[in-house]
Amino acid sequence: MQAETFARLLILETLIDAEVGFWLEHHPISPDRFREGLVARVSDLLDEIDRLDEVASGRVYDALVDFLSELPDQDAGMVEAALRFKRSVDRLTDRALEARGGDDASTWAVVLDELLEELAAEYPACGHGPAADPRACLRARALARAARDAGERMVAARRTDARTMLRDDLDRLYLAVEHRALPPAEVEALIRAPQRLARRARPSTLRTVGAYVMGQLMSRRPRRPRLP
């Protein structure tokens, strides 16, 4: 599984967490409208996953259909439905981590970059004061928390001098989104600082292509004869 697919699966799980939180806190009157709003928010993300990995897309689509088809009226039922969906996504992401290495800084750099990009798109919809959209605000907060967590995973394998800078940037961003209700332009500036660090740590296209080519060449090398 590509790091980009892994990142989008984590984004999807984060958004579903936020949607479940909205349900539990606000108890929307119409389950159908809640379902429609959720599908509208994640449909583009599902299309991106499908373009990257059809197998992962099929599995996560089935899990999402199951989740949406069994939306209950009671909080306890919603929690259980959400847990079943999350465990399905966890099985996909756990296998991806085992294959790529859970401590690979470049993988978490991709995750962080994509989470921050999603946050930059989501935060302006949040609004402020009487015009605030609680559903969008919950999604923005969930993305900010997930970005901070991804940053922690990334810095574990980075140089010591980069750790404090990235952690400070992500903490400033998290506090701004969670508590300060800053204008979107100010939050975007806070997003771009850690995003620059994440993008510098992403695997380059040349490195990715080179690793693929070397893997193909190595797989085609003739086997050495067994020693007697």
What percentage of the chain has pLDDT greater than the value 70? Answer: 83
Closest CA to 19 of 40, 1, 46, 3: 40
Please name the residues in contact with 172: beta carbons below 8 A apart, sequence gap of 6 or more. 190
Question: What pLDDT is recorded for position 220?
Answer: 45
Q: What is the pLDDT along the chain (228 residues), one digit of tens a residue?
A: 789 999 999 999 999 999 999 999 999 888 899 999 999 999 999 999 999 999 999 999 999 999 999 888 889 999 999 999 999 999 988 877 766 555 688 999 999 999 999 999 999 999 887 888 999 999 999 999 999 999 999 987 665 556 788 999 999 999 999 999 899 999 999 999 999 999 999 987 544 444 334 334 434 444 433 333
User: Tokens 């990009």 sit at which residue?
Assistant: 117
Rounded CA-CA distance 160/31 in Å is 48
Question: What pLDDT is recorded for position 97?
Answer: 72
Write down the pTM of the prediction: 0.85
- Tell me the two tokens of residue 145: 């928390």
Domain ranges of the chain: 1-100, 103-212
Residue 2: burial class (beta carbons within 10 Å; 0-12, 13-18, 19+): middle
Question: What pLDDT is recorded for position 182?
Answer: 93
